[in-house]
Amino acid sequence: MSKFRKPLTTVELVEIRLRSDSRDMRAVLREIMRLRAIVSKADQLERSLGSTDGEVEMIRDVLRAELNEEPSIAELTWNDINVR
73, 67 contact by CB (below 8 A): yes
Would you list the domain boundaries of the chain?
A: 10-83
Give the pLDDT confidence of 52-80 residue by residue, as tens digits. 888 888 888 888 888 888 888 877 765 55
Output the pTM of the full model.
Answer: 0.68
Q: In angstroms, rounded to a whole number, what is the distance separating the alpha carbons of residues 55 and 31?
A: 32
Give the pLDDT confidence of 25-58 residue by residue, as tens digits. 999 999 999 988 998 889 888 888 888 888 888 8
